[in-house]
Structure 1
Amino acid sequence: MTDNQEKERPRRRQARGERRIAQLLEAAASVFCTTGYTAASTNAIAREAGVSPGTLYQFFPNKEAIAIELGSRLMHEMRETYGEALAPVDPATPLEEAVGAAVDRFIDFNCRHPVFFALMHGPDIPGRIAEEHDALYATLIARVEALLASLLPEAPAAEVTRTAHVCLGIYKAGLELVLAHQGAEREAYVRELKNVLLRYLAPLVGDRSEGRTDPLWSGTP
């Protein structure tokens, strides 16, 4: 066996291992969404992945380890998402555009990864995920504050912080409704969510909301 062949074998094993981990995480996401974290089991995840429990235990010692790895990967992607979605906006940007762009980016992420909501907002979040989620939420609040500060340059810092918390609370409540529906009905709930946020923010922003057309968000989301 040549040196190149000896080096290639570990790389192939590593690639197979990464594919198996991805397969198990995808299966876990499906099971967590269907049953919730507490009711999920490693046997159910292995069955969903089409592997034996023994194969699963080669990569993860328990379901908490699976949830932590899945949550960590999703939170990394979420950080990239809100980094793009919540950048400060040009003061000339219409309020509808600023709100709509942020909502669309977050909705797209959560619809592609419904398990993120199930893990992060369920009543039974594993301890380490809860800690990471708290850190993520704190960072997210800071980014929303930065976005709002560009829309409300004269507002006191305490008001901006309070507004950021209210906006995230509205989004979280609306997201649960969005994820519970499909197709045209989901799109309708997205429009309603944007409307609620816009009607909340418009009086705070003042004349920046002038010139919008009614009904609000009459176009496609």
Structure 2
Amino acid sequence: MLEHPWTLFAADGGTVADTRSVRRQERGKQRMAQILDAALELFGELGYRAVSTNAIAARAGISPGSLYQFFPNKEAIAEALSVRLVESFRAAHASAFERSDLADIGLDELVDAVIDPLVAFNVAHPGAKALFADTDMPAGLAEGTRPLQEALLGRVDSVIAIRAPQLSAADRARSGLVAVQIVRAMTGAIVAASGQDRVALVAETKRALRGYLAELESD
């Protein structure tokens, strides 16, 4: 006996099997997002190396077996997180460095334009520093984030070239590395702080960067 045709097709014209497949895919995406969110939280709290897959599964509210259905190991989780964060990181960099008036604005405004979006990104993604700034990451993950780091240094170099055109290419590269490290060194403390403490740390970071850039411009 044939099944009633209504049992074979979903309301939108697709088959019931298609609808179930879509729902499974959506549940899978949600579960992967849970795992990545949990991992990012833990990386921010404990650092990459101190976090286990069991801890990630527990934070995500699932069993380790369920986690392994989506990711074979911690490195795969970190790589997936890196891919997810890269676009947000690029957007933060764009708002900081892709302005047409960088040669004309005052130093205070320049420092605000550079630091504020980067601080906002790291506060929104507190585990990002564990992925992007750890010098002892797995080779595959380090390779995946290297282009982003090189792009950041390149953009800082271009800003210094505009603001301090008297510097040689070698001096610009070295100065850009120092400027980046000033901000990077304070990022963890800024993310860990809150309220007025965070505001004060951001202000001090800006003061340090502003003083360094002012000397470069005056040389």
TM-score calculated relative to the size of structure 1 = 0.86
Pair 1:64-2:89 in alignment:
no
Task: Decide which of 1, 9, 17 is 2:20's aligned counterpart.
Answer: 9
Pair 1:100-2:112 in alignment:
yes
Task: Decide which of 48, 56, 63 is 1:52's aligned counterpart.
Answer: 63
- Cα separation, partners in 2 of 1:32 and 1:202, compared to 1, 3 Å: same
- Matches for 1:31-180 after TM superposition, within 5 Å: 31-90=42-101, 91-122=103-134, 124-180=136-192
SS in 2 for 1:105: helix
SS in 1 for 2:72: coil
1:180 offset after TM fit, Å?
3.0
Q: Match of 2:110, as an amino acid?
A: A
1:88 offset after TM fit, Å?
4.7
Distance 1:38 1:175 in 2: 19
Residue number in structure 1 paired with 2:204: 192
- Cα separation, partners in 2 of 1:97 and 1:89, compared to 1, 3 Å: farther
Distance 2:135 2:148 in 1: 17
1:165 offset after TM fit, Å?
0.9
1:202 offset after TM fit, Å?
1.1
Q: Match of 2:46, as an amino acid?
A: T
Distance 1:173 1:116 in 2: 14
Task: Decide which of 164, 171, 182 is 2:194's aligned counterpart.
Answer: 182
1:89 offset after TM fit, Å?
4.3
Q: Deviations over 1:8-44 (max 9, x none)?
A: 3322222111111100101111222233222221111
- Please provide the CA RMSD for this pair: 1.9
Which structure 2 segments of 5+ residues have no match?
A: 1-7
CA contact (8 A) 1:74 1:116 kept: yes
Distance 2:61 2:117 in 1: 33
SS in 2 for 1:146: helix
Distance 1:62 1:68 in 2: 10
CA contact (8 A) 1:149 1:160 kept: yes
1:76 offset after TM fit, Å?
2.5
1:136 offset after TM fit, Å?
1.7
Distance 1:8 1:71 in 2: 31
Tell me the number of residue pairs that the alignment of Structure 1 and Structure 2 aligns: 207
SS in 2 for 1:114: coil
Q: Match of 1:79, as an amino acid?
A: R
Residue number in structure 1 paired with 2:4: none
Q: Match of 1:189, as an amino acid?
A: L
SS in 1 for 2:14: helix
SS in 2 for 1:59: coil
Q: Match of 2:38, as an amino acid?
A: A
